[in-house]
Amino acid sequence: MAGTRSAKIGELALIEQIRHRFSSPASRSLALGIGDDCAILRPSPGSEILVTTDFTLENRHFRRDLHPAQAAGHRCLARGLSDLAAMGATPLAAFLSLALPGPMLKTAHGRSWVAEFFDGIDSLARQHRTPLAGGDTSESPADLILADIILIGSAPAGRSLRRSGARPGDVLYVTGALGGAHAELTQLLGTSRRSRAKSSEPHPHFFPHPRLEVGSALLHRRLATAAIDLSDGLSTDLTHLCESSRVRAEIDAAALPVHSLTAKLPADQALNAALNGGEDYELLFSAPAKTRVPARIAGVSITRIGQLYSRSSRKPLITLHHADGNATELKPAGWEHFTS
């Protein structure tokens, strides 16, 4: 911790609240959580440890005027959990480094924002049995909320799902639906008040579901050869998978499981949301053609979207087959929403 004396008092009170709220009994893999200089993890013998960190920066990853604090907290944790899901890992613990603008802890409004931010983390963490086991709290050098989440997970040694394991002939699948997060965001940016978002509708942008159960099943049932989570958009993330595995892909536009929220968009924009929207946090994975991949895993639909082939200098890295029979090259075009 660092900062002015009054900010320090606010931070100490906040840490006490966090400790109180997240004090979880020691578990088999977490021997010690919040409260000491370090947390202590005890991974089971024969496991390997996976680590991922993700920034959640105000005005880049969320906006205080657009995102409910709960959604900002949820998305912060969801990003890290989704990375673990993509490797087939089981979460062991989360760590959060948080920098808050000094005035935030001095006003009731600011304090309730922070409390709701932690509500968002807490409910997703409980859902996936991921204890918040530590972190750091500091006064932000600017009027901006900055959060860095670290997720630690485990998997049977040597079995984590990598981007590099796909082979020519493998079939490509995605979980759930694509483009929903982009469609919701488009709708939000088009309306002046966030309260206009109907609560009866799904909120794939505010509250994405990291696909941990699917990732774990893919690993334990030995279904997938490679996997990646769709954080930047299918076009960009499939490019990563193809480059890592040294293969090329052909995908079918008509086969893409387009999210129901995109129904409000013109057809070309709906397809664009599914291909390039990003932040859906679904999984993209490959499996050998002879592997029988179920239509649902852990209650989540699984859709075949294309196939992988040997690299060829005459073919693009990704070919997109359109419903009208045309084929075009698909270039990585995932985008960041709040670039300044």
Among 20, 37, 46, 200, binds ligand ADP (CB under 6 A): 37
Would you count residue 171 as binding ligand ADP (CB under 6 A)?
no
197: how many CB neighbours lie within 10 A of its CB?
16
Among 134, 204, 233, 277, binds ligand ADP (CB under 6 A): 134
Between 136 and 252, CB nearer to Mg ion: 136
Query: Please, what is the angle between helix 180-190 and helix 267-276, to 10°?
Result: 120
Between 2 and 289, CB nearer to Mg ion: 2
Among 52, 90, 137, 186, binds ligand ADP (CB under 6 A): 137
Pick what 98 binds: Mg ion, ligand ADP, none; C-beta below 5 to 8 Å, kind-dependent.
ligand ADP
Would you count residue 1 as binding ligand ADP (CB under 6 A)?
yes
Pick what 302 binds: ligand ADP, Mg ion, none; C-beta below 5 to 8 Å, kind-dependent.
none
The span of 75-83, 127-135, 204-212, 295-303 binding ligand ADP (CB under 6 A) equals 127-135
Would you count residue 36 as binding ligand ADP (CB under 6 A)?
yes
The span of 134-142, 173-181, 187-195, 196-204 binding ligand ADP (CB under 6 A) equals 134-142
Would you count residue 132 as binding ligand ADP (CB under 6 A)?
yes
Between 18 and 50, CB nearer to Mg ion: 18
Would you count residue 252 as binding ligand ADP (CB under 6 A)?
no
272: how many CB neighbours lie within 10 A of its CB?
18
Pick what 135 binds: ligand ADP, Mg ion, none; C-beta below 5 to 8 Å, kind-dependent.
ligand ADP
Between 95 and 173, CB nearer to ligand ADP: 95
Pick what 36 binds: Mg ion, ligand ADP, none; C-beta below 5 to 8 Å, kind-dependent.
ligand ADP
CB of 57 to ligand ADP, least distance (A): 15
Query: What is the rounded distance in angstroms from the CA atom of residue 284 to the CA atom of residue 174?
Result: 5
Residues 118-137 that bind Mg ion (CB under 5 A): 136
Would you count residue 15 as binding ligand ADP (CB under 6 A)?
yes
Pick what 134 binds: Mg ion, ligand ADP, none; C-beta below 5 to 8 Å, kind-dependent.
ligand ADP
Would you count residue 10 as binding ligand ADP (CB under 6 A)?
no
Size of residue set near ligand ADP by CB under 6 A: 15
CB of 9 to ligand ADP, least distance (A): 13
How big is the CA angle at 39 (ends 33 and 45), to the nearest 5 degrees? 100
What residues contact 198, with CB distance under 8 A and at least 6 apart?
none
CB of 34 to Mg ion, least distance (A): 11
Among 78, 92, 96, 249, binds ligand ADP (CB under 6 A): 96
Which is nearest to 175 in space by CA: 260, 275, 285, 278? 285
Where does this chain bind ligand ADP (CB under 6 A)? 1, 15, 18-19, 34-37, 96, 98, 132, 134-137
